[in-house]
Chains A and B, each alone.
Chain A
Amino acid sequence: AQKVTQAQTEISVVEKEDVTLDCVYETRDTTYYLFWYKQPPSGELVFLIRRNSFDEQNEISGRYSWNFQKSTSSFNFTITASQVVDSAVYFCALSEVFSSGGGADGLTFGKGTHLIIQP
């Protein structure tokens, strides 16, 4: 069965520091997708990125970057020059393709990392 582990329950940094959120996953599928979501205090989950298992190229979007390494089953998320507005709970999630018969049967989420950016 698939599993996502976010070992960091809470991280607190001072504004402008860089911070990395760890995500480790387990799956028996060779084809799968990984996701990151942001949950601000309002509660609604905001989609950040989707990455498939065949694309290990790192991605950068503004202050956000993602490092996908199949060798260590990790999909880490880095925020550069953090800002107070980045304070939220961040979730990593996994969707298998073949085991799920197509991949649209729901995501497996980690427990989330609560990121606190202090001014």
Chain B
Amino acid sequence: DGGITQSPKYLFRKEGQNVTLSCEQNLNHDAMYWYRQDPGQGLRLIYYSQIVNDFQKGDIAEGYSVSREKKESFPLTVTSAQKNPTAFYLCASTQGADHPYEQYFGPGTRLTVT
């Protein structure tokens, strides 16, 4: 089945450690996105990529890094510079980078940093 997978579903880390969240899609979509969701809040855009080997900062990119070496994969690294990393992280993709098509979302990764 086509879709977006994120792993793991739950992730626990100690403060000061970097952690990488996985996002893979087999929908042959061009554009991919990372959002962060805090309790009672909407989703906020961290990074997005419209094409392989290129990505752009979103509204809250500080403390995060990404790579897009393959069309199918868009991993997100939460660095120790991110002041409040505990959150629910959602990855999404859309079919084209030239038009606001609907975005399809993965199941999310819930990150807890203590």
**Which residues from B are CB-within-8-Å of A107?**
43, 45, 100, 103
| Inter-subunit contact A111/B103 (CB<8 Å) | no
B interface list, Cβ under 8 A from A: 30-31, 33, 35, 40-45, 48, 50, 56, 58, 88, 90, 92, 94, 96-108, 110
Residue of A nearest to B94 (CB): A104
| Inter-subunit contact B40/A106 (CB<8 Å) | no
A interface list, Cβ under 8 A from B: 4, 6, 9, 32-33, 35, 37, 42-47, 50, 91, 93, 95, 97, 100, 102-112
| Inter-subunit contact A105/B41 (CB<8 Å) | no
Which of the listed residues A35, A45, A93, A108 has the most CB atoms from chain B within 10 Å of its own CB?
A45
Take A42-B107, A106-B48 as given contacts and tell me if A91 and B42 are in contact as well, using a CB distance cutoff of 8 Å: yes
Which of the listed residues A4, A43, A103 has the most CB atoms from chain B within 10 Å of its own CB?
A43
> Please, how many angstroms separate the alpha-carbon atoms of A87 and B100 in the complex?
28
Take A50-B102, A102-B99, A112-B42 as given contacts and tell me if A44 and B108 are in contact as well, using a CB distance cutoff of 8 Å: yes
